[in-house]
Chain A
Amino acid sequence: GENVEQHPSTLSVQEGDSAVIKCTYSDSASNYFPWYKQELGKRPQLIIDIRSNVGEKKDQRIAVTLNKTAKHFSLHITETQPEDSAVYFCAASFPLGDYKLSFGAGTTVTVRA
């Protein structure tokens, strides 16, 4: 099955700086890569996603890049703000019969004021 590794597990950044989280996946057939954000005590919510036919996608201060050759994708948060403090999960979907979604272990991001 698909294996998704996520790094780093924790990330502390100064407010206004950028944050980058990287995920690698094992199955080259993976074709959909969502990112979820989970604030403390709340449920995970989709913040951005990318399909395998696109190399980069941006939505305001967040962007995701995909390198299919290297089988990795990254989340970039620019101009970080205190409300960006949360746990971020990457995921990869691969069509093994039915679509199956595998999540990374999560990155705890802390934005220091």
Chain B
Amino acid sequence: KAGVTQTPRYLIKTRGQQVTLSCSPISGHRSVSWYQQTPGQGLQFLFEYFSETQRNKGNFPGRFSGRQFSNSRSEMNVSTLELGDSALYLCASSPGLAGSPGEQYFGPGTRLTVT
């Protein structure tokens, strides 16, 4: 079974631009969660999508949004980029909701640099 994939792997943007990141979950997984990882801040939860519906949301501004398609692939969008948005963005998929017992499988991440 193919693992979780994320595209692109690296991205450089300038302040004020917007960006869209993509995540393809493991086949059969219905949940996709997004996390922002920065040094010293751990894994900050952005949101979770399950069967095309946003089920949980973290404490991020409205500039961060996402969606999930019928094939469970998910996209995350960040508008009006700020320098502080530079981070590794990880997505993770699981068969059920992320908080239910069982492993979340993480993708390799997209490294976003905002200049």
Q: How far apart are A27's CB and chain B's nearest CB, in angstroms?
A: 11
Q: How far apart are B94's CB and chain A's nearest CB, in angstroms?
A: 9
Max chain B C-beta neighbours (<10 A), residue from A44, A89, A104: A44
Question: In chain A, residues 67-102, which have Cβ atoms closer than 8 Å to a Cβ of chain B?
Answer: 89, 93-95, 98-102
Contact between A45 and B42, CB atoms less than 8 A apart: no
Contact of A44 among B41, B56, B90, B101 (CB under 8 A): B90
Contact between A100 and B99, CB atoms less than 8 A apart: yes
B53 to chain A: closest residue by CB = A98
Interface size class of B (residues with CB under 8 A): 20 to 34
Count of chain A to chain B residue pairs whose CB atoms are closer than 8 Å in the complex? 58
B42 to chain A: closest residue by CB = A105
A51 within 8 A of B: yes
SS class, residues of chain A in contact with chain B: strand
For the complex, give the distance between the alpha carbons of A34 and B104 in Å: 10
Interface size class of A (residues with CB under 8 A): 20 to 34
Question: In chain B, residues 20-45, which have Cβ atoms closer than 8 Å to a Cβ of chain A?
Answer: 33, 35, 40-43, 45
Max chain B C-beta neighbours (<10 A), residue from A43, A51, A93, A104: A43
Question: In chain B, residues 65-95, which have Cβ atoms closer than 8 Å to a Cβ of chain A?
Answer: 90, 92
CB neighbours (8 Å) of B43 from chain A are 44, 89, 103, 106
Q: Which A positions have Cβ atoms within 8 angstroms of B?
A: 6, 9, 32, 34, 43-46, 49, 51, 89, 93-95, 98-106
